[in-house]
Amino acid sequence: MIPPRTLAGLPSPCYLIDLAALRRNLELLGRLRRELDLKILLALKSFACWRLAPIILRHLDGVNAASIHEARLGLAEFGGEVHLTAPAYSRADMDELFGRLAARPEPPPFYLVFNSLSQWRRYGRECRDRGLRCGLRVNPERPLGRMPIYDPSRPGSRLGVIRAELDAIAPGELEGLTGLHFHVLCEQGADALALALEAFEEKFGHLLSRMEWVNFGGGHHLTRLRGLHPELPIEEDYDLELLGRLVRDFRARHPLRIYLEPGEAVTLGAGCLVATVLDIVERDLPTVILDASAEAHMPDVIEAPYTPPVAGARPWCADGPAPANTYRLTGNTCLAGDVIGTYVFEEPLAIGSKVVFQDQAYYTMVKNNTFNGINLPAIALLYEDGFAETIRQFGYEDYRSRLS
C-alpha cells in the first residue's frame, strides 16, 4: 500500500519499484539457491534496472542477457556470471563482445549459448579459444505455453536445436560444448517444469554425460505465493516442494550444475505504474483517459492480452447494468485500441485522481516506447519507510534522441 502522501508527491506517470517486495522475492530465491544448490540468474529481458544491481546480486548469481547490449549492461553494472542467449549473433556482435571482455583485467565467468548448429560452427571455436563457456540451446518440441506467441516450443519455432538436427550431424561436432539450455515456460508452475524436463531428457538426455551444466531457462513463477503477495489475485501457489523434488531427482540422474533464469519471479508484485486521470468521457461507460498508456507503457496488456490488477478496484466484464463507479481505463495515445480494461472502483474517480496499476515492474520499462511522442514514465524507488525517491525522469530529448 502506497502512503497517500507519497502517492501525491510522485511524478506522473511513474514506475514505482517496491524495495520491500523486491527483497522478499530475492530472499526466497536466495533460500532456494542454498537449499537446492541452484544457480539463479536475473533475466535482463524482463527487468534491467541496473541501479538495483547491488541488491539483486546479493541473492542471485548473475544475469542472463538476450542481446549484446544486455550482455554489456550485465558486464558493466551487475557483476557475477553473465550468460548470453540470443537467436543469432553477427560478426559485429562477436567483435564487440570480445573487445569488451578483453578490456577487463579479470572478466567474470561468461557463458555464450548458441541457438543453432550453424552459429555454433561459425563462432564456436573462436569463442572457446577466447575462454568463453559455450552452450547449445535445444528445443524439446513439446508446447507447454498457454499462448503460442510466448511458447518457444510451438510448431515451427526457430528457437533451439531440435533432435532431428542433432541426429544428422557427424560425431565430434559438439566437442567443446560445456552445457545445454532449454527455455519452454512462461509464467508457469513446477507441474509444467516436470513436463518440460521429461521432454528434455527424452530428446537430449544422451548428451548430458558429456556436459558440465544445464540451464532450465526462464518462466518459472517461483515467487507466485499468496503469502508473499497478498495484494495480487493469485489463484494457486507455486509448488516449491515439487520444484525441490524435480531438481534433486534430476541431479541424481545427471550430476550437473543447474541454472534457472527467471524474470518475472524476481520482480513479481514488486512494482506498479502510477497514472493520473486527465479526462473522463461519457460513453456507454464513463471512459477515463490517463496520462499512461497500454500501448506505450504496458505493451503486454495489448500483446498478451491481459487485464492488469488495479489498487482499490476489481475488473468488470459482466453483462447487464454496470455497478456504480465502473470505468473504462484508456491511454493517452491516438490508438483506438489503447484500452487497459474496465474496472469497478471502491471510490469514484475524478480528474486528477491517481490510478495504480499493480505488478508492473517486469516487461514494462524494458519494452516501453514513445509512440505518438508520449512521455516515458519516471522511475522511482519506494523504500520500506514509505519514502519514494525518483531516480530517473524522461522528457523531449529522450524522444528526440531515438530519431534522426
What is the model's pLDDT at position 318?
80
Same domain, 52 and 157: yes
* Other residues' Cβ atoms within 10 Å of the Cβ of residue 244: 14
CATH number for the domain spanning 191: value is: 3.20.20.10
Same domain, 51 and 179: yes
pTM score over 0.85 = yes
User: Mean pLDDT by 10-residue block, N- to C-terminus, for the chain (404 residues)?
Assistant: 92 98 98 98 98 97 98 94 98 96 88 98 96 97 89 94 96 94 96 98 97 97 97 96 98 98 96 98 96 98 95 91 96 98 98 98 98 98 96 97 94
Q: Is residue 395 part of a domain?
A: yes
What is the model's pLDDT at position 105?
83
What is the model's pLDDT at position 195?
97
Same domain, 230 and 346: no
Same domain, 257 and 275: no
What is the model's pLDDT at position 319?
79
What is the model's pLDDT at position 53?
97
Cα(292)–Cα(333) distance, integer angstroms: 9
Same domain, 59 and 179: yes
Q: Which three-class secondary structure state does DSSP give residue 61?
A: coil
Same domain, 120 and 175: yes
Q: Is residue 92 part of a domain?
A: yes
Q: Is residue 21 part of a domain?
A: no
Same domain, 10 and 69: no
Same domain, 284 and 387: yes
What is the model's pLDDT at position 388?
97
CA 141 to chain centre: 22
Which residues are registered as beta bridge partners of 280? 288
Q: Is residue 123 part of a domain?
A: yes
Same domain, 253 and 343: no
Q: Is residue 31 part of a domain?
A: no
Q: Is residue 27 part of a domain?
A: no
For 62, left (φ over 0), alpha (ψ -120 to 50), or beta? left
What is the model's pLDDT at position 331?
98
Same domain, 214 and 135: yes
DSSP 161: B
What is the model's pLDDT at position 171?
80
Same domain, 243 and 164: yes
What is the model's pLDDT at position 8?
94
What is the model's pLDDT at position 382?
98
The set of residues, in sequence order, having a beta carbon less than 8 Å from that of 350 and lying 6+ positions away, is: 277, 280
Same domain, 331 and 219: no
C-alpha angle with apex 384: 313 to 236, nearest 5 degrees? Answer: 50
Which range of residues forms the domain containing residue 76? Answer: 37-267
Of 267, 284, 299, which marks where a domain is finished? 267
Please tell me the total count of domains within the chain: 2
Cα(342)–Cα(317) distance, integer angstroms: 7
Q: Is residue 19 part of a domain?
A: no
Q: Is residue 286 part of a domain?
A: yes
Of 249, 267, 285, which marks where a domain is finished? 267
What is the model's pLDDT at position 306?
94
Residues 232, 243: contact at Cβ < 8 Å? no
CATH number for the domain spanning 332: value is: 2.40.37.10
Burial-class residue 176 by CB neighbours within 10 Å (0-12, 13-18, 19+).
middle
Of 267, 282, 311, which marks where a domain is finished? 267
Q: What is 218-251 written as a DSSP string?
A: S-B-TT--TTT-TTS--SS---HHHHHHHHHHHH
